[in-house]
Chain A
Amino acid sequence: MYDPTVARLTYRALLGRRRALILGALPLLLIVIAVAVRALSGADDQTAADVLGGFAIATMVPIIGVIAGTGAIGPEIDDGSVVYLLAKPLKRPTIIFTKLIVAIAVTMVFSAVPTLIAGLILNGNGQQIAVAYTVAALVASIAYSALFLLLGTVSRHAVVFGLVYALVWEALFGSLVPGARTLSVQQWALAVAHKVAGGDLVTSDVGLTTAVVLLVVVTVLATWYAGQKLRSLKLAGEE
């Protein structure tokens, strides 16, 4: 199911100079904000929850998910170099699964780790806030990676669609339309985080069971479907 060569190629493509810079920018911004907030207003649980929930989980994690998830396969399909993977006696689901693992790992490293660091800076993990949001980031990394990997497999405009989903659906509709919140990876991840933190600082509109079921279903379905799409991927000729 997991092919180390496909993984190596994907890591090197994802962590190439330009993409690594983009991946690193938001986490850096988060930590800078955390340092500034802590310096200006001292340690405060509510502020910590606001920064981590409002910026880290609502904005940074989905955007990093888009970059890593679509970037794990989209550019290869776009420029046609995926032909070197496809012209091999390699099961298509193996290619997708391997790329998913890589996308998850990259998203986790660039989103969960800075979330934890920022949380520790903001209030030193008071009321488990840093750990809870880190768990949310880890959980969301998995679902976002699967979702955006599928998007990268089926669409040439995956980054645009991914950003629209991440910013418009998750951030905007999610806060305005109650129904949209049920269908939001962010809310599912927060439900898990709520379980970790307890209390009222980390909240979600979705119950834990629903959240976990939806997380698993979305991740599995997206991965399976991406494998199917890759099986019948048509490489357009030059003509």
Chain B
Amino acid sequence: MTTLSIDHVSRWFGNVVAVNDITMTIGPGVTGLLGPNGAGKSTLINMMGGFLAPSTGTVTLDGQPVWRNEGIYRHIGIVPEREAMYDFLTGREFVVANAELHGLGDKAAQRALATVEMEYAQDRRIATYSKGMRQRVKMASALVHDPSLLLLDEPFNGMDPRQRMQLMDLLRRMGDEGRTVLFSSHILEEVEQLARHIEVVVAGRHAASGDYRKIRRLMTDRPHRYLVRSSDDRALAAALIADPSTAGIEVDHAEGALRVQAVDFGRFTALLPKVARDHGIRLLTVSPSDESLESVFSYLVAA
């Protein structure tokens, strides 16, 4: 059982607050750290991995501090986001060096290379590897000492669908074996496919935490905003506001359109065409006005 505890952690760089008073506990199994780009995920992972000191708060692994504690790396495997990795070595040389630095030998390296299925290219220089191959060799270097905690920063970036599937299978297996696996991503679908447990970070704050179904529901149940143009905006507005799925309507004269706020996503999408047809109104434009990931996330922060 390995538990990573983040306790009231903040981190600022000059005047910029990158991580703002986050408290979370990461236990065994696969956890997804979800958030838009620039949310502070990498800063948080760097603090979890002991590469950055929290400005306030503590990060501990089973009670042991992570910052300035080299011994902790016996239990942690890290897959950084950055590409650089001794490109002049072959894949095998790289993983063997990583094993040696843990006081292990060729056998451990070979086992790790087999786990990520990179034996076929292990004697080629890393400089010649594709993005997916690099990712797998990084993975092998992180697994070489059989760590109980695995931290991965945006591991699926730039991978093709097949490589993505393979890595997901591998991480799932690691989680099932009882390891604590945490990976970051800015793509909800990616996180949903792999992680049971999701932590959402937005603008440096801990926005949501829990089962992926709960997060998904939060995301689809939020108020949706639509921009609607029709042959008779006022009549349509009157008909829509009569139904509880609509929370508010504004007539936007400048745009010549209605701004509709719907609270029940499913019901509203069925209601709108029906109401229009019943009243003989033609719908000219129906477009969601806040579908960007950022607005979805910022709703979560407020929730």
- Report which A residues bind B (CB closer than 8 A): 3-6, 8-9, 12-13, 16, 79-81, 83-92, 231-235, 237-239
Contacts and interface: CB of A to CB of B under 8 A. Distances in A.
Contacts of A237: 42-43, 45-46, 52, 81
B180 to A, nearest CB: 16
Contacts of B29: none
Given A90-B101, A237-B46, A80 B82 contact: yes
A84 B51 contact: no
A202 to B, nearest CB: 40
Contacts of B52: 234-235, 237
B86 interface: yes
Give the size category of B's interface with A: 35 or more
Nearest to B151: A87
Contacts of A6: 101
A238 B101 contact: no
Contact of B68 (A81, A83, A90, A231): A231
B59 to A, nearest CB: 14
Contacts of B10: none
Interface string B62-83: 0000001011111011101110
A89 B102 contact: yes
30 contacts: A4-B100, A5-B100, A6-B101, A8-B97, A12-B86, A12-B89, A16-B88, A81-B82, A83-B82, A84-B86, A84-B101, A87-B49, A87-B51, A87-B76, A88-B101, A89-B70, A89-B71, A89-B72, A89-B73, A89-B74, A89-B102, A90-B70, A90-B101, A91-B70, A232-B53, A235-B46, A237-B45, A238-B81, A238-B153, A239-B42
Given A231-B68, A234-B52, 10 more contacts: A8-B97, A9-B89, A84-B141, A87-B49, A88-B70, A92-B70, A232-B68, A233-B51, A237-B81, A239-B40
B24 interface: no
B84 interface: yes
Contacts of B103: 89
A234 B51 contact: yes
Nearest to A8: B97
B5 to A, nearest CB: 19
Given A89-B102, A237-B46, A239-B37, A79 B84 contact: yes
Interface centre among A79, A85, A233, A238 (most CB of B within 10 A): A238
Contacts of A231: 68
A91 B68 CA distance: 10
B53 A239 contact: no
A67 B68 CA distance: 29
A47 to B, nearest CB: 42
Contacts of B235: none
A86 B51 contact: yes
Contact of B84 (A81, A87, A90, A232): A81
Nearest to B147: A87
Interface in B75-113: 76-78, 80-82, 84-86, 88-89, 97-98, 100-103
Interface in B32-53: 37-38, 40-43, 45-46, 49-53
A5 B101 contact: yes
B257 interface: no
